[in-house]
């Protein structure tokens, strides 16, 4: 019976070993993003102030950036995701331009990107123009807000997070003015669609089928071996 159990374990091990070509495919990367979208109110109190009587301002959007009360939206097809689903760079074109105080404030946040690193995402802009304090700014690759994406989920080929908290970074505070670093900005909704089957999510459907068939073969072989082993110890007809 010990030999039978050993054979059972050996067969089980052989069945569940991952195919070399599939394992190497998972090791390759990065995975292409088929599309991604982000909705974000930026900061509701800022929008209310800018459009109010004191600032008398407005905002304009262009390119991949849109606006529909009360949120800005970004939609693009550019970017990539690591095969382990932990890091990504999402790229878009377009801009948000804030204007107020009869032109004293005139800032454009352009070339929006989202960089994901495990549980943290950074919303990045190139920022140019004059702050509300009248300071001229021309800074590229500004990590504007830091977003907590620890509650993100990866189902099928979709990575997503809803109402993810966002705070202004020191770089963002310096380039934008108005608010100090650590100031809470509006939460972020982010959805990323990935090329099918690229990001690792445990065994795929074909793997489960293979494991099921392998289990059936394993059990059948174990039964045959057990019967043969027991038959060796039984007397044959005619033996006394």
Q: Tell me what pLDDT residue 225 has.
A: 44
Same domain, 21 and 88: no
Is residue 108's pLDDT more than 50? yes
For residue range 63-77, list pLDDT tens digits in order: 999 999 999 999 999
Tell me, yes or no, whether 21 and 35 share the same domain: no
Q: How many domains does one find in the chain?
A: 2
* 220 and 187 inside one domain: no
Q: What angle do CA 29, 30, 32 make, to 5 degrees?
A: 125
pLDDT, position 35: 97
172-205 tens-digit pLDDT: 999 999 899 999 999 999 999 999 988 776 443 3
Query: With bands split at pLDDT 50, 70 and 90, how would you rate the model's confidence at 28?
Result: low
pLDDT band at 30 (very low <50, low <70, confident <90, very high): confident
212 and 186 together in one domain: no
Give the model's pLDDT for residue 156.
Answer: 85
43 located within any domain: yes
- Classify residue 171: in a domain, yes or no: yes
Cis link prior to 198 (omega < 30° from 0)? no
> In the prediction, which pLDDT does 132 show?
86
Q: Which domain holds residue 8?
A: 2-25+202-232
Question: Highest-confidence range of 5-9, 54-58, 89-93, 134-138, by mean pLDDT?
Answer: 89-93
Burial class (CB in 10 A: 0-12, 13-18, 19+), 198: buried
């Amino acid at each position: 019976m010990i030999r039978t159990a050993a054979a059972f374990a050996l067969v089980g091990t052989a069945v569940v070993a991952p195919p070399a070509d599939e394992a190497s495919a998972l090791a390759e990367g990065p995975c292409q993003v088929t599309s991604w979208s982000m909705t974000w109110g930026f900061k509701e109190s800022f929008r209310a102030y800018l459009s109010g009587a004191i600032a008398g301002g407005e905002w304009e959007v262009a390119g991949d950036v849109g606006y529909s009360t009360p949120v800005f939206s970004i939609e693009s097809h550019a970017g990539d995701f690591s095969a382990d689903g932990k890091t990504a760079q999402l790229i878009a074109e377009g801009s948000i331009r804030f204007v107020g105080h009869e032109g004293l404030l005139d800032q454009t946040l352009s070339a929006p990107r989202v960089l994901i690193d495990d549980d943290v995402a950074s919303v990045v802009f190139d920022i140019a123009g004059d702050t509300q304090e009248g300071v001229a700014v021309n800074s590229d690759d500004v990590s504007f807000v830091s977003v907590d994406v620890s509650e993100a989920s990866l189902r099928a080929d979709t990575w997503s997070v809803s109402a993810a908290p966002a705070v202004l970074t020191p770089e963002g505070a310096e380039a934008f003015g108005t608010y100090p670093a650590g100031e809470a900005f509006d939460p972020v909704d982010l959805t990323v669609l990935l090329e099918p089957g690229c990001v690792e999510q445990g065994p795929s459907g074909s793997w489960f089928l293979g494991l099921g068939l392998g289990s059936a073969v394993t059990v059948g072989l174990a039964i045959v071996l057990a019967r043969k082993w027991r038959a060796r110890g039984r007397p044959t007809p005619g033996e006394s």
